[in-house]
Copies of this chain bind each other. A is one copy, B any other.
Amino acid sequence: MIDLPALAEIVRDSPAKILFLVIDGLGGLPHPETGRSELETAHLPHLHALAGKSACGLTTPVLPGITPGSGPGHLALFGYDPLKYTVGRGVLEALGIGLPLGPGDVVARGNLCTVDAQGVIVDRRAGRVSGQEAAALVQRLARIRLPGVHLEVHPVREHRFVLLLRGDGLSEAVSETDPGRTGVPPRDPVPLAPEGEYTARLVAAFVAEARRALHGEARANMVLLRGWSRLPSLPNFCHAYRLRAAAVAAYPMYRGIAHILGMAVIPTGSTFAEQVATVQAHWQQYDFFFLHYKPADAAGEDGDFTAKVRALEAVDPHIPALLALNPEVLVVTGDHATPAVVGGHSWHPVPLLIHSRYTLGEGVEAFTERACARGSLGRVPATAVMLLALAHAGRLDKYGA
């Protein structure tokens, strides 16, 4: 793959607009009883008709067999090699709750957990303590103060929280205290490099304070910390592709990813109809829109085949409004598959369609996993989708004479 900085030679300006509709968790697998996938089951007249007039294919998000998280899934779609460019887990968790991060901040994902009298972990998730109970306990952690550093603790949901450290001289080069299994005590935080020594001492002090703050609790009486990370330094999407790019997403994590890539993040509502209206209202201001639709993934994560079918059916009626904007290029794809029968993200290839005046229009009969496998785009790495979109928009010069 051409690395982003190398693109500068061939990317050119153009008024052509590109609209990326990312249906999170788009791909699926057949229901065991019907033999039909979610896309094959859903009533999707507009998407199926569009596929027939588009170039279709399947994307490989990272590598065959590799299941991407939301970070790598989206980075790849935006043309960032997800094996080279990474966003730390702590940062993603913070982005997921809409926490604004500064360049020096260090964040970790935290779990409330249960330890026995000997300090040995007996439940890494504190019995999946309820949201209300957890929020009260996280409040206690948030009152912890350490000298010389600004410290924040924010609840995520159930047993999960985010720990943020802000101050001079912080580093993410600290080991995780979560051993990833029960039957052993939490690990002491140790520096992974000389520059991590100060932070490791701070983390050890925080853990000691947290133990005291949670003392006496039956379930959530200790914390586990992992995924130490800082805001990554990634090539700017708008500069690399010479695009005025905007994100329209209802969920904080996707707004956060767009933000760290340098896209404008347009405030929008929580429904897809509101998101579409946001795109319409700002259509003239940007060249590239990242429009993110979450419910398909959420239903797949829940293992709810019917809900995923309904989530797909809920996006279909909006396709005409998107086409009516007359984008030079409309891309519809997902960041990864979330088959309901898997009940989580999966490694399966993801349907892709590219609609533009410069596509073959190979006449596949539906926007499904099986039909897209017969499309002219074939199997492409997800990192190629941006190149294809730019090419179809007339935004790439010839490579070489």
Which residues of chain A have a CB within 8 Å of any CB of chain B?
A: 1-2, 10, 29-30, 35, 37, 58, 62-72, 82-83, 86-87, 89, 92-93, 227, 339, 341-342, 344-349, 357-363, 369-370, 373-381, 384, 386-392, 396-401
Q: Is the interface of A mostly helix, strand, loop or mixed?
A: loop
Report B-chain residues with C-beta under 8 Å of the C-beta of A58. 376, 378
9 A-B pairs in the complex with CB atoms less than 8 angstroms apart: A64-B381, A65-B386, A67-B391, A341-B357, A346-B358, A347-B391, A348-B360, A373-B376, A378-B378
Once A65-B390, A346-B358, A362-B370 are accepted as A-B contacts, the answer to whether A378 and B379 lie under 8 Å apart by CB is: yes
> Would you give the shortest CB distance from A95 to chain B, in whole angstroms?
10
> Would you give the shortest CB distance from A69 to chain B, in whole angstroms?
4
Report B-chain residues with C-beta under 8 Å of the C-beta of A357. 341
New A-B contacts (5) at CB < 8 Å, excluding given A30-B360, A69-B400, A344-B398: A1-B63, A29-B360, A65-B390, A87-B401, A373-B378
Contact B37 A360 (CB under 8 A): yes
Greatest chain B CB density within 10 A among A65, A344, A358, A374 is at A65
Contact B401 A66 (CB under 8 A): no
Assembly of this chain: how many copies? 2
- Chain B residue nearest to A345 (CB atoms) is B398
Report B-chain residues with C-beta under 8 Å of the C-beta of A89. 400-401
Query: Per a CB cutoff under 8 Å, which of B29, B71, B370, B378 touches A400?
Result: B71
Report B-chain residues with C-beta under 8 Å of the C-beta of A341. 357-358
Contact B70 A401 (CB under 8 A): yes
| Measured CA separation A348–B373 after assembly (Å) | 17
Once A83-B2, A360-B348 are accepted as A-B contacts, the answer to whether A64 and B373 lie under 8 Å apart by CB is: no
- Chain B residue nearest to A68 (CB atoms) is B399
- Chain B residue nearest to A32 (CB atoms) is B357
Contact A401 B93 (CB under 8 A): yes
> Would you give the shortest CB distance from A393 to chain B, in whole angstroms?
10
| Measured CA separation A376–B72 after assembly (Å) | 22
Contact A400 B64 (CB under 8 A): no
Contact A388 B65 (CB under 8 A): yes
